[in-house]
Structure 1
Amino acid sequence: MEFKLIFAAAWSKNYSGQDEIYAYLQGVARKYGLYEQTKFRTEVIRAQWMGDIQKWQLDWRCTDGSDTDVQTGFFDFVFAGLGPLRIPKIPEQFKSFTGKAVHTAEWDPTIDFAGKRVAVVGSGASAIQVVPVLTKTVGHLYSYQRTPAWTLPRNQFSYGKLVKFIFRWFPFVMRFYRFLLYATHESYYVMFGYYNSFIGRRIHWLFEKLIAFRLKRAGRPDLIPVLTPKFAPGCKRIAKSEEYLEALAQTNVTVVPSAVEKVEGTTIIDNHGQKNEIDILVLATGFNVEGFIGNLQIVGRDNQSLSALWRSEFPKTFKSVTVNGFPNFFLLLGPTSGLGHNSVVSIIECQVNFAIELIKRMMKKGVAAVEPKVSSQDAFVSKLQRDMKHTVWNSGCASWYKNEKGEITGLWSGTVASFWWTLRNPQLSDFIEYKKPLLISDVKRGRDEEM
């Protein structure tokens, strides 16, 4: 987690913890004066395009109770960096649980797990973080997995004093190292984009052997068929942990390879009828990606609701940044811009650069507002869907990358490099242009000048 042009020489590990990442972001915010330009504890409840004045009207309110009145402001451009992984997904059957329950996205550090019977539902990125920690304190842990995840070692290591010294005083070395990390992750696309190739099949075989080796080493070869996915690596996001499989092999853990059918009080019943009584329920069930807009009302031209539009059809965008019917509106990490193989920070940077360059060209030409043409948007979406067909993400598994119709809406179909190339040079010819409105004050000033 590091911005392209803002380096930090003091990272302690290959995968730094939350405290270091948070400190880095705080440092960036202080350096660029973002604290003074940010409204904290504020919820935007509505954004509406006002065509008569060609501005966005935003309504917001304070969330700390200091002011209960809704406030309003007008803006030329809106950037929606809502974040697709922010609204916890809580399946309906778990809402009837009468014991203590917590979602991993809303973690309660005061919960005492010592000696308790705990159920963890899910097998993705959240589960691999909590399971190894919980197994050290719980009495017994039940891991409910509808489908297992491909799990690889993170290769975690610490940077020594010499490496930190070199990074600090020879920044070009750190830039080169950062590029190597980027290039390594870009190379994973060979596996994901061409999973059925010779290389892709060999990688699949190696992944199977690695899981088998780790479980045999942990003394649980019986778990190999249970914890080896039946789908190709990358169809769901690959989980990285040196401890997860080993934690599931512990004697105080039961792996339940079934979906939870229903909950009765504090009893979990899977779809095979097996019942387990538990004290604490941990939901590692992911996020409501399809409904990431949440309660925010985004209303564009002709009173079109963005939420309603995307519920009725594939969430179309132009170059994963702009949307027809929503002038001067820019998405950051919205539909079709996530990644399954590299850092999304690079994606966000490409989107911001695209928007800034487009705004510069608008200002130079005297254009007040733009929205993508339907033809431009449809052509972009059609190519995206064609390119996605041959990838591993379209190979048949269920994942959060897909919407309820099975369409892949969460991911970009190619590499970060191809995303950069696609967004590198915005053209006003792809957009509907709106000139600046002629205001009453302009008319009056013109008459005065004639007199």
Structure 2
Amino acid sequence: MAPRNGRKLTAAVIGTGFSGICAAIKLEKELGINPQLFEISEDVGGTWHANTYPGAECDIPSHLYSLSFELNDTWTKHYSAQAEIYAYLRRVAKKYNLYEKTKFETEIVHAEWKEQQQQWLLQWRNTKNHQETGSGYYDILFAGLGPLRVPNIPSEFAKFQGPIVHTTQWDSTLDYSNKRIAVIGSGATAVQAIPELRKVASHVYSFQRTPAWISPRDQFTYPSLLKFVFRWLPFLMRLYRIFLYLQHEMYYVSFGYHNSFLARRIQAGMTKIVAWRLKRAGRPDLIPVLTPDYPLGCKRIAKSELYLEALAKPNVTVIKSGVSDIKERTLMDKDGNAHEVDILVLATGFDVQGFTGNLDIYGRNRMLLDQKWRKDFPKTYKTVTVHGYPNFFMLLGPSAALGHNSVVTQIEIQVDYAIKCLKHMVRNNLAALEPKESAQELFSKNLQKDFNGTVWKGGCRSWYMNDAGEIYGLWKGPIMSFYWALRSPNFNDFIEYKKMPRVHL
């Protein structure tokens, strides 16, 4: 689909995780645009290339955590490990020739909308040689940065005089065997890593100010016969995927409104399961320590059949108070106890609030996006476009993540929405589109209003919430409501830019 003046549109895609790969494929298939991809690391995969900590797995079923147009009949387990998801993304990238279109080990350091050119100017540099730089103009910019990208490393831990490892920057060359290891954090990463670290460490100290709700996983291995059936009868694999999707949509009904009768009953059942698992492991004393005092779902529910049992082992100590001070290799907890360790593992999550990390994105009038979003609630229009940033499409940014289902489905809905916007632009021979401020304000206002009464405003602090107590990291409802909101762009809500004579300075 070429513009009427005959010149093909150009597009840049930042990132080669699920978001970037999906955007690049759809741009070529739907619009005939051959995009230029930029990847800061040496390979595709995004989160699933970067996170190699022990026990790294997905907490969404494999057949659901994949692209709908690239189903995979060879998944080995119900919940896949990092290596298998990474391999899947590499296969998809190779199939669609994305490696040839990607500048690897390339960091975008500056992106700016140029009014006169009606294009985005991108400036980049090689991550290993900062003297090796480049720049280029593009009509369209997709940001597939991912929210779980920039590690959150609290400054107070810099005092530790030993190896410090953040889970997203795992040091596999370090010898963890027979070491005393302190793990800071109790989120999904810690839930996966601690059972594996415990197997090799002499002792693990789990520092967790707030325990997580832990749901048992229905993990199992797919038999060869079922994989054979999926290969030769792919419609059955698609039906199975639909079943998984509907199952996870029901989770929103189960805990989304925590004061409902159903949510209270489910939380009571989860409380009993936690107690039963710890009693079975011989540690009933941990029940009050590891039973959360906030509503089920207020923070992301972690899935594990190993974590509570690992915390009950003799070589694991749960410390429910945070770290108050660090002296050389000794961590002082807030109860006054000293714990000397050899390695400090930070499972402290990511700097999500800025979303753009160290990438400077300037829109019209040189508005810096990161500064704008850190100062106020990160407003978008339909989670994809932003007022003041023409032809800019943010994938899995503010208000687009989920606490109950697959974000890959969210990504595909966002990309399809962006493609519809671009098709409208091409049909009408426009230079650019951006949402009106009034439309963005109304969308953001309604978004926040719809969180009232939900579990995410149930009284806990989570990465979904900013310092002002606003939910900025999640979509307000189930995926079906997300699809409905983005199914058809209302172009009355957009500013349309006519083409001008283009001059490159």
TM-score, normalised with respect to structure 1: 0.96
Q: Secondary structure at the match of 2:446?
A: helix
CA displacement 1:204-263 (0-9 Å, x = unmatched):
101100000000000000100000000011100111111000000001111100111221
- Selected match of 1:138 from 172, 180, 201: 201
2:70 maps to which residue? 6
**Deviations along 1:52-87, whole A, 9 cap, x unmatched?**
11100000111233x723211000010011111011
How much has 1:439 moved relative to structure 2? 4.7
Q: Supply the distance in 2 between the matched residues of 1:196 and 1:432 (Cα, whole angstroms).
A: 42
The correspondence of residues 321-360 of structure 1 with structure 2, limited to 5 A, is 321-360=384-423
The superposition leaves residues 328-364 of structure 1 with CA deviations (integer Å, 9 ceiling, x where unpaired) of: 1000000000100001001110110000001101111
Amino acid at match of 2:240: Y
**Correspondence 1:371 to 2:371:** no
Which amino acid is the alignment partner of residue 213 of structure 1? W
- Does the 8 A contact of 1:322 with 1:330 survive in 2? yes
Alignment-mate amino acid for residue 438 of structure 1? P
Amino acid at match of 2:100: E
User: Is it true that 1:234 corresponds to 2:323 in the alignment?
Assistant: no
Q: Which residue of 1 aligns with 2:46?
A: none
Establish whether residue 165 from structure 1 lines up as the match of residue 225 from structure 2. Answer: no
Equivalent residue number for residue 310 of structure 1: 373
> For the pair shown, which has the larger CA radius of gyration, 1 or 2?
1
Q: In the alignment, which of 258, 265, 268 is matched to residue 202 of structure 1?
A: 265
Partner residue, 1:262 = 325
> Which position in structure 2 is the counterpart of 1:82?
145
Question: How many angstroms apart in 1 are the aligned matches of 2:479 and 2:373?
Answer: 25
* 1:128 and 2:191 matched: yes
CA deviations on 1:312-343 (whole Å, 9 max, x unpaired) are 21100000001001111000000000100001
Query: 2:161 aligns to what?
Result: 98
Q: Which amino acid aligns with 1:315?
A: P
- Partner deviation per Cα, 1:257-309 (whole Å, 9 max, x = no partner): 01112211111112222211111111111111113312211000011111111
Q: Counterpart of 1:109 in structure 2: which amino acid?
A: S
User: RMSD value over aligned CA atoms?
Assistant: 1.2
Specify the alignment match of 1:191 in structure 2: 254
Pair 112,38 (structure 1): closer, same or farther in 2 beyond 3 Å: same
> What residue number does 1:37 align with?
101
Matched, 1:410 2:465: no
- Distance in 2, matches of 1:282 and 1:296, equals 27
**Structure 1 residues 440, 383: closer, same or farther in 2, change over 3 A?**
closer
Name 1:445's counterpart in structure 2. Answer: none
CA distance in 2, matches of 1:13, 1:241: 14
User: Would you say the 8 A contact 1:263–1:269 is kept in 2?
Assistant: yes
The structure 2 residue matched to 1:280, chosen from 299, 324, 343, is 343
Unaligned runs of 5+ in 1: 442-451
In the alignment, which residue of structure 2 is the partner of 1:435? 498
CA distance in 1, matches of 2:178, 2:228: 45
- Contact 1:93–1:261 (8 Å) recurs in 2: no
Q: 1:113 aligns with which of 157, 173, 176?
A: 176
Tell me what 2:111 maps to. Answer: 47
Partner of 1:444: none
CA distance in 2, matches of 1:113, 1:312: 41
Other-structure match for 1:150: 213
> Which whole-Å deviations, capped at 9, do the CAs of 1:426-447 have from their partners, x for residues lacking one?
1211101110013589xxxxxx
Identity %: 56
Offset of 1:109 from its aligned partner? 1.2
Deviation at 1:22, TM superposition (A): 1.6
In structure 2, how many angstroms separate the alpha carbons of the residues matched to 1:205 and 1:439? 64
**Cα pair 1:44 1:296 within 8 Å, conserved:** yes
Letter in 2 for 1:146: R
Aligned length, in residue pairs = 440
Is the CA contact 2:230–2:236 (under 8 Å) kept in the aligned structure 1?
A: yes
The counterpart of 2:443, out of the listed 380, 384, 389, is 380
After superposing the two structures, state which structure 1 stretch, 14-23 or 216-225, moved more.
14-23
Q: Deviations over 1:104-146 (max 9, x none)?
A: 1111112222222111111111101111011112111111010
